[in-house]
Structure 1
Amino acid sequence: MDNKAQLNRGFGLTASLALVVGTIIGSGIFFKQGSVLASAGSTTSALIAWAAGGILTLASGMSVAEIGSQMAKTGGLYIYIEKIYGKVWGYLAGWMQVIFYGPAMMGSISAYFGILFVDLFQLPKMWAIPSAIIALAFVGIINSIPNRFSAGFQILTTTLKMLPIVALIIFGMFFGQHEALGQTVTAVAHTNSGGFGVAILATLFAYDGWVTLANISGEIKNPQKVLPKAIVFGLIIVIISYVGVSYGTYRSLDAANIVALGQNTTIHMATSAFGVVGGRLMSVAVLISLLGTLNGKIVSFPRVLFAMARDGLFPFAKTFSKINMRTKTPNAAIWFMIVLGDLMLLLTNPDRLTDIAMFTTFLFYILAFVGVFILRRKDPTGVNRAFSTPLYPFIPILAIAGSLYVEISEILHDFSGVVISIAVVAIGLPVYLVLSKRQIKK
């Protein structure tokens, strides 16, 4: 091992696109149809909710892409927030991702994989957690060898997960027997599910994950140009996929049936369209989709830990800042976060943790979006800006508005979770003070 080794720039545009698309599209598009429709009240409103969530996310992606084009270093939000607001805020952004949000996401995705895996192969329920741990370790191994393999795995899983999405869209559009627009759900279902605002909130969570690409800027070829293209075009692909699958679903099934089926809507649709084999293939596609999403998380979050350790701002920094000489990957950082993911999987409810972490995640998103205005003021000519957000200042304002909506919703619906979320981030402050004092003494 050698700390002087450099990360390998193994992610070109195709792999970067696959990382954005593959990390966002996990299980949400397959299992959120019933809940979004129940909240929206009608298929027309539900489609608008999916489109609105996509537009808000695209505005967010464009805003971060502008910042990323000026700071092509591994670390993502940790680097962006630090450069704009100072080391303390940057550290807290990194701490949140490494200690809380990243492991919770890894644990949650692998847990869901384990549940679906034992259901598909009719194994005893007791094998769900071991299956989840094995899946997490498997993707960890792929990420511990040269990153061309994790890049290739991302391209493969993203391609495979897009096949059923395209099939569902085509089937719904050309063979569906219902009107996609204008269907309504019962008043009881709509009242109990929160309304149109909650529907948009659900889609925003389904769109989350696009920022992971920014964490690996140091491994992207020509990141100033590739990162903005991958984020923007990747999000456009995801928006088309989400709206397309929703439209196909509404064409294939009536609104009442979709709400009644809930999480089983897409599997039922695939079974009806392509038989029992089609339903099983859809389940396999979801498993592959989850592996692709898990790969994106493991590619991304350990790079934040690596960047913090490289700056001496994490315990055992020498260990976590090392890069394997042969593979050019930060293996210690990768496996530390996998262990944290396993602990959350075994000891807590990862789904609940990801919900709790959402408040601080979007809080740092807002800081980044505001940073677009700060950087523009510092560099009005755009000399150092390889990508400029179109329709400025409207786009970053829209991104801020969408994120504020998430924050307000979290405060209103899960105040205890918000308090826990802030507390976990605040714990990082004394850790930072201790580590920064050690650096000063050195």
Structure 2
Amino acid sequence: MKDEHNDVELNRSLGLWSALSLVVGTIIGVGIFVRQAAVLDDAGSTTGALLAWLAGGIITLTAGLTIAEIATQMPETGGLYVYMEKLYGKLWGFLSGWMQIIIYGPAMIASLGAYLSLLLIDFFHIPQAWTIPIALISIILVGILNLFSNRYGAGFAIITTICKLLPVAALVIFGLFFGDQSALGHSISQVHQSAGGFGVAILATLFAFDGWILVANLGGEIKNPSKRLPQAIVLGILGVLVIYLLVTFGVFRSIPAQKIHDLGTGAIPYMANKDFGTIGGKLLSIGIIISIVGCMNGKIMTFPRIMYAMAKDKELPFQHVLAYLSPTTRTPIWCTVTTLVIAGIMIVFFDADRLSELCIFTVYCFYVMAFFGPTILRRRNPGIKRAFSIPLYPLTPIIAILGSLFVIVSEIMSDLQGVLLSFIFVIIGIPVFYYEMRKQKDD
């Protein structure tokens, strides 16, 4: 992808391991560590909870397989933004990108920064007054790393992914081999009656699997993207699915179901202290901190690429600045800085968690549209040779579509006000789009 101002290109230097680490690292944040009790409560039993994690993983895998076929035909920087534009036209592409760069991406980065700050304050016994400054410092430091060559961000992703998997492996091993509980068949019926049920349990796991699609934003920086991008998406989701199932099984082997319910988000820290002592609890906290930092790194690395792709297409205000690539690092430095500034404003003035939740509805609306993509492309280009084809087509994309529709309907039923607000975020982008299009014509 050429930059018309300085002829600098994005650095196509990321291999399979870098892409795979970004998929795994971006998915595994804090969800698997804090959602065990919530999923168990909604499912009503340990068997139901395991099936909910499996169902969430299968839905996510079908989504990944579906996007993988599209990615092989559109291996460009921008991911979902590019897919929507080429499938449905410029307006739909713009709106999907607009929502991600203005609200969703910065809000996710901000919420990770805020949660990381709380953990650091608790771990080092820092005064609460430092909550916001530490959150800002954390996103700035990770952001600075991503102002350098993409090799540094990718290398950091590999390191943090390995580090976060070490405590996960310890939890799994001790749970499987030293746990004295039966992991299947234990129910908490008194909770199940007032909880959301199996469907809500699946919904909770889907949010813990989210983030896998962000590696597609780096299509212009991955070596042989038509081959490596599908491999990274599919292998990454499969790996996370196995990890989530093993961790959940290990927790259920170590702690009685009723105890998990009583502990809530403290179930895994309790397990770490029980199995490894106080030092084990501290090491787990370090593992979770590293996990969040790695997840934040993946998002800071990938979301600015959407902004860059949109600026290259002359669809954003200040496009000449945002489309700039550093001749030295070959990274979109002003897009990264802009993303961090928006995230910082959210940390200081807004509830970033709530903002990211508001965008879930619209994200999944765009997902559903994208999942129809393989069918559209197969009809548009009959007989074309594809580098990757969806297995079990059309069943696989149908499952992905139904899973996303389930999230959409659930959001409408549980948070109608939030759904309407998320529509407002998207609609604000329409006049921006037409203004920039008119500027293009005048030029």
- State the TM-score, normalizing by the size of structure 1: 0.98
Deviations 1:251-272 (A, max 9, x none): 0000011011111111111111
Q: Distance in 2 between matches of 1:410 and 1:154?
A: 32
Which residue of the partner structure matches residue 387 of structure 1? 388
Does 2:288 correspond to 1:296? no
Select which of 199, 216, 229 maps to 2:218: 216
SS at match of 1:69: helix
Does 2:344 correspond to 1:347? no
Q: Distance in 2 between matches of 1:291 and 1:11?
A: 20
Select which of 232, 240, 244 maps to 1:242: 244
**1:354 CA displacement:** 1.1
Q: Distance in 2 between matches of 1:429 and 1:51?
A: 39
Does 2:44 correspond to 1:50? no
Preserved contact between residue 35 and residue 193 of structure 1 (Cα < 8 Å): no
Q: Which runs of 5+ in 1 are unaligned?
A: none
Amino acid paired to 1:150: G
- State the TM-score, normalizing by the size of structure 2: 0.98
Which residue of the partner structure matches residue 257 of structure 1? 259
Q: Distance in 1 between matches of 2:187 and 2:436?
A: 57
Does 2:147 correspond to 1:144? yes
Which residue of the partner structure matches residue 181 of structure 1? 184
**1:329 CA displacement:** 0.4
Q: Distance in 1 between matches of 2:265 and 2:238?
A: 25
Does 2:21 correspond to 1:13? no
Deviations 1:150-177 (A, max 9, x none): 0100000000001111111111110001
Which residue of the partner structure matches residue 271 of structure 2? 269
Deviations 1:406-428 (A, max 9, x none): 00000000000000001100100
Q: Distance in 1 between matches of 2:384 and 2:40?
A: 43
**1:4 CA displacement:** 1.8
Q: Distance in 2 between matches of 1:239 and 1:156?
A: 20
SS at match of 2:183: coil
Select which of 207, 219, 224 maps to 2:209: 207
Which residue of the partner structure matches residue 26 of structure 2? 23
The residue correspondences of 1:148-159 to structure 2 (distance < 5 A) are: 148-159=151-162
Taking only the aligned residue pairs, the percentage that are identical comes to 50
The residue correspondences of 1:356-367 to structure 2 (distance < 5 A) are: 356-367=358-369
Aligned length: 440
**1:78 CA displacement:** 0.7
**1:281 CA displacement:** 0.5
Does 2:429 correspond to 1:434? no
The residue correspondences of 1:113-152 to structure 2 (distance < 5 A) are: 113-152=116-155
Which residue of the partner structure matches residue 165 of structure 2? 162
**1:3 CA displacement:** 3.7
Q: Distance in 1 between matches of 2:114 and 2:29?
A: 13
Which residue of the partner structure matches residue 62 of structure 1? 65
SS at match of 1:325: coil
Q: Distance in 2 between matches of 1:246 and 1:441?
A: 58
Deviations 1:198-244 (A, max 9, x none): 10000000000001011110010110000000000000000001011
Q: Distance in 1 between matches of 2:253 and 2:15?
A: 37
**1:381 CA displacement:** 1.6
Which residue of the partner structure matches residue 420 of structure 2? 419
**1:193 CA displacement:** 2.4
SS at match of 2:372: helix
**1:121 CA displacement:** 0.8
